Amino acid sequence: METPDPSFRRRLLNEALTVVAAPARVQAAWLEKHGVVTDEIALDFDHAFRMAEGLVEEGFLSRDALPELRLIDSIFDEMSRDESTDR
């Protein structure tokens, strides 16, 4: 499978972060618009996050962004292990 070009991968990351950072009402509208469940927000971020290191290596993302992206990833990971949350 061919890796998408860097501008596409960076756009995926930007779009995922935009939804993650949005207020709950905007996230709910995004979910309804796309006809998906809440987990899709974290899954979209995860998909984009997995390509972040490559974006750094190619010069399309600052290495300084990685700790914050890792933090978001760890928060989603923690949330996914907590079966009592419905966020």
3-class DSSP assignment, residue 61: coil
pLDDT in tens, the chain (87 residues): 577 788 999 999 999 999 999 999 999 999 999 999 988 999 999 999 999 999 999 999 999 999 999 999 999 998 888 776 555
pLDDT at 13: 96
Cα R_g (the chain), whole angstroms: 14
Q: Are 39 and 56 in contact (CB under 8 A)?
A: no
3-class DSSP assignment, residue 10: helix
74, burial (CB in 10 Å: exposed 0-12, middle 13-18, buried 19+): exposed
Task: Name which of 8, 16, 2, 14 is nearest 58 in CA terms.
Answer: 8
Using CA atoms, how far residue 72 sits from 20, 42, 75, in Å, is 9, 9, 5
pLDDT at 80: 80
Q: Which residues contact 26 (CB under 8 A, 6 or more apart)?
A: 19
Enter the pTM of the model: 0.84
